[in-house]
Structure 1
Amino acid sequence: MRLVILGGVAAGTKAASRARRLDPEMEITVYQEEPEPSISECGLPYYLSGVVGERENLIARTPEQFADKDIEVLVRHRVESIDAAGKKLSVRDLRTDKVFDDTYDRLIIATGARAVLPPIPGAELEGVFKLRFLTDSDEIRRYIEERSPGKATIVGGGYIGLEVAENLCRLGMEVSLIEGEDRVALAYGPEVSENVEAELEANGVGVYTGEHVDEFTGEGRV
């Protein structure tokens, strides 16, 4: 039995580990497009400020550690097509750009989600970032270290946006948070949202609810 899993963060690696416990003889391969598998995504905002000091602290298990359990994890590999009838895959090694075929008996798709960049003019400018993967955190942190920005604007008042606001405040930035809905922290009730907004403002964050970004502007960068 050969099991192939597409996606190597939380769900994919847990599925691989569970499959290994159920069947010690199963052949298991995990394909992961990003450079690291099994990252602690909840810690990404805290890596920006240095609360999480070392990058390695965000990596729960490395490919080598999975290999010790006889689970093959191939990072920087993207599955580009699936032949469900023939149980075949076309895989691109992003390091060499070579494409090869693979086969499977069982397939699990655990690719998760991607950060959605709204179609806002200027989103391609330098200084506009998304935060979804560890490599995104690397890019933002490098920009902060090189540019020393004094101000930051966060678009979105959900979990990640709130945590990014918290951590950029720790760095001494002047932070604004823009949320299209009428309150932040929509996953909770209005009372919690009110308390969260009050805490943000008490820490110097400018909170703008019911507002939308029309355009990012700047000469090459915001």
Structure 2
Amino acid sequence: MSAGERVRERLVVIGGDAAGMSAASQARRLRGPDELEIVAFERGHFSSYSACGIPYWVGGDVEDRDQLVARSPEEHRERGIDLRMRTEVVEIDVTGRRVRARAVDGAGEYWTSYDKLVIATGARPVRPELPGIDAAGVHGVQTLDDGQALLDSLRAATGRRAVVVGAGYIGVEMAEALIRRGYEVTVVNRGAEPMSTLDPDMGCLVREAMTGLGITMVDDAEVTKVVTGGDGRVRAVATRDAEYPADVVVLGIGVRPETSLARAAGLPVGAFGGLLTDLSMRVRGHEDIWAGGDCVEVLDLVSGRERHIALGTHANKHGRIIGTNVGGGYATFPGVVGTAVSKVCDLEIARTGLREKDARRAGLQYVTVTVETTGRARYYPGAAPMTVKMLAERDSGRLLGVQIVGREGAAKRVDIAAVALTAGLTVEQVTSLDLGYAPPFSPVWDPIQVASRKAAGAVRNA
């Protein structure tokens, strides 16, 4: 090697969706093919797609599957990334700095060495070990392949009855999608109310909306088995008390970090099963290994504790930060406040920060307030009701969390609270924010500030 000649490094990426390919793309922008070879492995049929859009594709809002794909494998390859589809990494050899891969549809395995490694293996749907859980017609929904399999199953089903197991974000969104497909939908939920990411008093508003759509809600119920017919296909879902007929079943119980490879390689995982990283998204204790997306745990800026949140927004940010660091720059991911939004038809659902049980778990003393208001001036046409719940720290008045359930304009108002939480504002300071006002968009006092005024009073009187 002549003086001044650079050594070409190899970056290996495990996972071809948001975090992995964002990391690969950002690294490629900063370092050309002569400096950095990039090899990426993806076991599915699709790369860089929106998993969050799957319920809207199933429900018919998005007509074509390819609309959910941000960048195809061919486009990545044109940009100098060796993306190997339908290829699964089955082992990470940290000491030898290599990974072992095999073709999903073929035979044979091979090793690929790396100088730098990115783990972006995502999350997997929770699939309880129950009799019949692997029967035809039972579906988890995490990848585009999963979404396609569900649509194929819906087309093949002879009846129009669906059971959704679980009432979190995926369960609620899939219940709406199936209603829109013309199915009779039953949701079996372990909790007393749907949406366990909300406090129960807010979750009950979601249940009322779902019931109003014709969805049958079965709360405080745990599935004991999936009943199958003579053809091996699902026929019903059973709890301890009843059976609910089903031609198709969707599992909406939630997801867990997919870290089996990382665990086997001896990499550090946290209480929620996600990989542990530092602020630069490096896996702790490993200088040349990064991880991002749904397979990692992140810092909750409000509670100060690690948590697992599976969202495409975080995955894309993680990937960009990783790619910047791999490419020779420097970037960090400070943490999250736990912001998420969803909907059931025209009912919008939003939350950020801590729920009551989160605050108790963190040892915080707090006050709560709930206000009923509207998203526009009450006299303006289309003004619709909105319920806002707010938590504040008892002594300091620091904002701890906000939950919103309402109609048009409700969900994105949570962003005001997310910024306030990130900045560490008190509810009194939120009351003084200079927010936009005009009757078509807001009352004189924005709903967030109506709640913050009441919370500030509760703090003073505590």
Q: Do they fold alike, i.e. is TM over 0.5?
A: yes
Name the counterpart of 1:59.
Answer: 69
Is 1:150 the counterpart of 2:160? The answer is yes
Q: Structure 1 residues 186-195 or 37-46, which shifts more?
A: 186-195
Q: For 1:26 and 1:47, how far apart are their aligned partners in 2? A: 37
1:3-22 CA-partner distances (Å, limit 9, x unpaired): 00101111111111221223
The residue type paired with residue 102 of structure 1 is T
Name the counterpart of 2:104.
Answer: 94
Q: Aligned runs of 1:95-174 on 2, under 5 Å? A: 95-174=105-184
Q: CA deviation at 1:50?
A: 2.0
Q: For 2:51 and 2:158, how far apart are their aligned partners in 1? A: 24
1:168-220 CA-partner distances (Å, limit 9, x unpaired): 00011110111112221111233431221111000000112211011111212
Between the two proteins, the alignment pairs up a number of residues equal to 222
Relative distance call for 1:193 and 1:51 in structure 2 (3 A) is: same
In structure 1, which of residues 5, 9, 14 is the aligned counterpart of residue 13 of structure 2? Answer: 5
Query: Which protein, 1 or 2, shows the higher relative CO under an 8 Å CA cutoff with sep ≥ 6?
Result: 1
Relative distance call for 1:171 and 1:148 in structure 2 (3 A) is: farther
Q: CA deviation at 1:26?
A: 1.5
Q: Structure 1 residues 110-119 or 189-198, which shifts more?
A: 189-198
Q: For 1:216 and 1:166, how far apart are their aligned partners in 2? A: 22
Q: For 1:125 and 1:18, how far apart are their aligned partners in 2? A: 41
Q: CA deviation at 1:38?
A: 1.0
Name the counterpart of 1:210.
Answer: 220
Name the Cα RMSD after superposition.
1.4
The residue type paired with residue 10 of structure 2 is R
1:129-157 CA-partner distances (Å, limit 9, x unpaired): 11111111111111211224311110011
The residue type paired with residue 102 of structure 2 is R
Q: For 1:17 and 1:47, how far apart are their aligned partners in 2? A: 26
The residue type paired with residue 48 of structure 1 is V
Conserved 8 A contact 2:92-2:98: yes
Instruction: Classify the secondary structure of the residue corresponding to 1:31.
Output: strand
**What is the TM-score normalised by the length of structure 1?**
0.95
Q: For 2:218 and 2:38, how far apart are their aligned partners in 1? A: 48
Q: For 1:154 and 1:195, how far apart are their aligned partners in 2? A: 19
Q: For 2:10 and 2:136, how far apart are their aligned partners in 1? A: 44
Name the counterpart of 2:29.
Answer: 21
Instruction: Classify the secondary structure of the residue corresponding to 1:129.
Output: strand
Larger Rg over CA atoms? 2
Conserved 8 A contact 2:187-2:217: yes
Unaligned stretches of 5+ in structure 2? Answer: 1-8, 236-462
Q: CA deviation at 1:91?
A: 1.0
Q: For 1:13 and 1:188, how far apart are their aligned partners in 2? A: 32
Instruction: Classify the secondary structure of the residue corresponding to 1:29.
Output: strand
Conserved 8 A contact 2:59-2:176: no
Is 1:31 the counterpart of 2:54? The answer is no
Conserved 8 A contact 2:125-2:141: yes
Q: For 1:127 and 1:96, how far apart are their aligned partners in 2? A: 26
Q: For 2:60 and 2:39, how far apart are their aligned partners in 1? A: 34
Unaligned stretches of 5+ in structure 1? Answer: none
The residue type paired with residue 51 of structure 1 is D
Name the counterpart of 2:256.
Answer: none
Q: For 2:207 and 2:133, how far apart are their aligned partners in 1? A: 26
The residue type paired with residue 62 of structure 2 is V
Q: For 2:181 and 2:224, how far apart are their aligned partners in 1? A: 27
The residue type paired with residue 8 of structure 1 is G
Relative distance call for 1:204 and 1:66 in structure 2 (3 A) is: same
The residue type paired with residue 106 of structure 1 is K
1:94-131 CA-partner distances (Å, limit 9, x unpaired): 23222122110011111011112101111122221111
